Structure 1
Amino acid sequence: MDNITKKIPGFALSLAIAIASYYIAKLWLPMLGGATIALFVGIVLGNTWLQQPVLAAGTKFSEKKLLEYSVMLLGATITFQSIQQIGWHGVLFTVLQMSCTIGFAIWFGRRLQFSEGTYLLMAGGNAVCGSSAIGAIAPVIDADNEDTGIAITLVNLMGTILMLLLPVIGTLMWGHNNELRGVLIGGTVQSVGQVVASATMINQGTVVTATLFKILRIICLVFVVSGFGYLHQKKQSKVSDTKLSEQLLAKKSSLVPWYVIGFLLFCVLNSLRVFPSQFGTLCHFLSTWCETTALAAIGLRLNLKALFSQGKRLLAYAGGLVTVQVVLAILLITLLF
């Protein structure tokens, strides 16, 4: 009971920021979305007036557990039938786009001498689904809070930039072709909310295509989390320390964490039409609020001094990754569609 009481202040503050951000987005900044606003409000407050230790337990709980719940609930909002609507060329585009994005993010991150946590989280966040992917990957690779906070901040910033730029780029490249503009947005932009907001700037036809491609990327989350977990364990297993090796062996059974298994189970059951339509709507609602509250907590816990200490390298990393993503997507669309 005492442990729960310690978490209340930080959780309540994170939820309050999430609620305020929701209404700010609804009334004044609908294109940014409540989740992105909650992250930046949390960063401002957490690095100015709200640095009290009493908030730590609650914000840590909100950051870790709520993102995990959000990932699991996301499975009840998608179905495997979506793949049939995309076709083989759409599947091939998504696999190549995600694989190359991940490969470049890892290679470039190593060249810039970032930690494993930073470059794997950046790779997964950009290739799959932003904050949700980062939240799913972080525990599997033992990423620390600093790496997680930096990755989520950068991925949301990059997603916001792409959200605004891609409708313009897509129109310049392919005119009024809704399918190709939708593929570009759905195959590149980071979070679900940013994909929908970006495609809405064009028209409803683009929203449908972009959402389908985004769903396919989310389905691939299971493989990305499992793959990154394997890479991390393989790297750690090279350490000769016997005690560490024993710890790693004990963790082999958790290569795929519970929330990813839950995500996959929900996705399978939803594809089999087990759930009523209202259940998917409820899960989407809960997943959105879990993510928004978690991002508020992450903002409160993010140390801006640590972020700015790596400023030039981080900007080079983020800028290079975004540029490669967009150029690669345009090239693949030109070749495959």
Structure 2
Amino acid sequence: MDGINKITNSNNIFYKIKEILPGLAVSVLIGLASMVLSHVVPKLGAATISIFLGMFIGNVFLGQEVFQKGYKFSETDLLSYSIVLLGATLSVSTLMELGFNGILFVVLQMSVTIAGALYIGKKLGFGQDFRFLMAAGNAVCGSSAIAATAPVINAKDKDKGIAITIVNVTGIFLMFLLPVLTQKLYSHEAVQTSAMIGGTLQSVGQVVASGAMVSEPVKDLSTIFKIVRVILLVAVVFLFGHLKNKTNHDIIEEEIEDTKKGKIKVPWYVLGFFITCALFSTNIISPEVSEMCKALSNKFEIIALAAIGLRVNIKDLIKQGKAVSLYGLFVGTLQVVSAVILINILL
């Protein structure tokens, strides 16, 4: 029986690799091509080239279903590995650059986003579940936050799918807008620009992509701002579960028990980031190994950004209904305006 199970597991692993391979290969090739082209057009940089080249190839040539699982793996898994490796290049003192005001900025920005998304959604006539999903996705970490929130509030799959789409659409537009806006507002000063990008954009990938369009230091610091938001995922999910079921004590107790059991988890790459950061801070990871980690992290990141571009479906962006599109527009605008105000006050 053990032999049969081993064979079955091996077959499953082989099948999964076979599914991932086509999209992964395309992502890697685009990433490598972007690295080469960045030497020809250094002002654009490999990150920016990778996204746009991915968008072009994905929408014109290679958007077929056979590539999608590989694209998703390249975007999510490789980016996660990149973030863990990034931790091996940053010391605790670097993380402390955020300071009390930086963390307060993140908490207030998330609070404004949640309150605003709930209020705007109600005024536009959307149901409670959809408003919760939009608030979580925009305030924390895009699709991951929506996926974590949906089962706690018993959201319908349709609401979940639409929320993921519109949150990603909003993030894509802001991903390209914020580098331009921060140049005008802050002349790309590192802390303020990083706070705007890391405190506003919806997904980790969008933060990395947008930060990379500005500079390497901004990309790294933006990621730290974003990680603080991701850490607060558990609190946000529990909040929405409580708001949805505040009159049902049995369900609340069940949610508390689920949280204790770890069913609502902080993503593994956040824990990995802090572990590698601690190892570097205590000199267990040497400067030489740290340099290797940074080089590998950058390569994973560029391949992941190619996959992000490959997964952008321009037709889907155009198809979104007017009310849903307005919802995303209003929430995105609120995030940018509140970030500008809070940065001026706190940073």
CA RMSD of aligned residues (A): 4.1
Q: 2:234 aligns with which of 226, 230, 252?
A: 226
Alignment of 1:77-88 (within 5 A): 77-82=89-94, 84-88=96-100
Query: 1:6·1:58 contact (CA, 8 Å) conserved in 2?
Result: yes
After superposition, give the CA deviation of every residue in 1:196-227 in whole Å (9 maximum; x if it has no partner): 654x6xxxxxx97x678636514414423323
- Partners of 2:234 and 2:83 in 1: CA distance: 14
Q: 2:269 aligns with which of 252, 256, 259?
A: 259
In structure 2, the partner of 1:14 is: 27
Shift of 1:8: 1.5
Query: 1:82·1:216 contact (CA, 8 Å) conserved in 2?
Result: no
Query: 2:118·2:131 contact (CA, 8 Å) conserved in 1?
Result: no
SS of aligned partner of 1:122: helix
Q: Does 1:154 align with 2:164?
A: no
Asked which structure has the greater CA Rg, the reply is 2
C-alpha change, 1:165 and 1:223, in structure 2 (3 Å) is same
Report the residue type matching 1:324 in the other structure.
L
Identity of aligned residues (%): 31
In structure 2, the partner of 1:96 is: 108
Shift of 1:187: 1.3
Report the residue type matching 1:304 in the other structure.
I
Shift of 1:21: 2.9
- Partners of 2:122 and 2:40 in 1: CA distance: 42
- Partners of 2:219 and 2:27 in 1: CA distance: 28
Report the residue type matching 2:184 in the other structure.
V
- Partners of 1:26 and 1:99 in 2: CA distance: 42
Alignment of 1:88-127 (within 5 A): 88-105=100-117, 107-108=119-120, 112=124, 113=126, 117-124=133-140
Report the residue type matching 1:253 in the other structure.
G
C-alpha change, 1:324 and 1:284, in structure 2 (3 Å) is farther
- Partners of 1:51 and 1:268 in 2: CA distance: 40
- Partners of 2:236 and 2:322 in 1: CA distance: 26
C-alpha change, 1:193 and 1:5, in structure 2 (3 Å) is closer
Query: 2:47·2:212 contact (CA, 8 Å) conserved in 1?
Result: no
Query: 2:116·2:331 contact (CA, 8 Å) conserved in 1?
Result: yes
Report the residue type matching 2:273 in the other structure.
F
- Partners of 2:292 and 2:327 in 1: CA distance: 37
After superposition, give the CA deviation of every residue in 1:91-112 in whole Å (9 maximum; x if it has no partner): 4334323433454345445655
- Partners of 1:22 and 1:294 in 2: CA distance: 13
- Partners of 2:325 and 2:221 in 1: CA distance: 28
Shift of 1:13: 0.8
Q: 1:61 aligns with which of 60, 67, 73?
A: 73
Q: 2:314 aligns with which of 261, 282, 304?
A: 304
Report the residue type matching 1:276 in the other structure.
S
C-alpha change, 1:226 and 1:288, in structure 2 (3 Å) is farther
Shift of 1:304: 3.2
Shift of 1:6: 3.1
Report the residue type matching 1:65 in the other structure.
D
In structure 2, the partner of 1:163 is: 179
After superposition, give the CA deviation of every residue in 1:113-153 in whole Å (9 maximum; x if it has no partner): 457555533332xxxxxxxx447546534697775565445
- List gaps (5 residues or longer) in structure 2: 1-13, 151-156, 202-206
Report the residue type matching 1:328 in the other structure.
S
C-alpha change, 1:89 and 1:65, in structure 2 (3 Å) is closer
In structure 1, the partner of 2:5 is: none
Query: 1:40·1:299 contact (CA, 8 Å) conserved in 2?
Result: yes
Query: 1:59·1:300 contact (CA, 8 Å) conserved in 2?
Result: yes
Report the residue type matching 1:224 in the other structure.
L
Shift of 1:36: 4.4
Q: Does 1:274 align with 2:290?
A: no
C-alpha change, 1:274 and 1:151, in structure 2 (3 Å) is farther
C-alpha change, 1:69 and 1:311, in structure 2 (3 Å) is farther
SS of aligned partner of 1:51: coil
Report the residue type matching 1:264 in the other structure.
F
- Partners of 2:73 and 2:120 in 1: CA distance: 32
- Partners of 1:248 and 1:51 in 2: CA distance: 42
Shift of 1:193: 5.4
In structure 1, the partner of 2:41 is: 28
SS of aligned partner of 2:232: helix
Report the residue type matching 1:123 in the other structure.
A
Report the residue type matching 2:262 in the other structure.
S
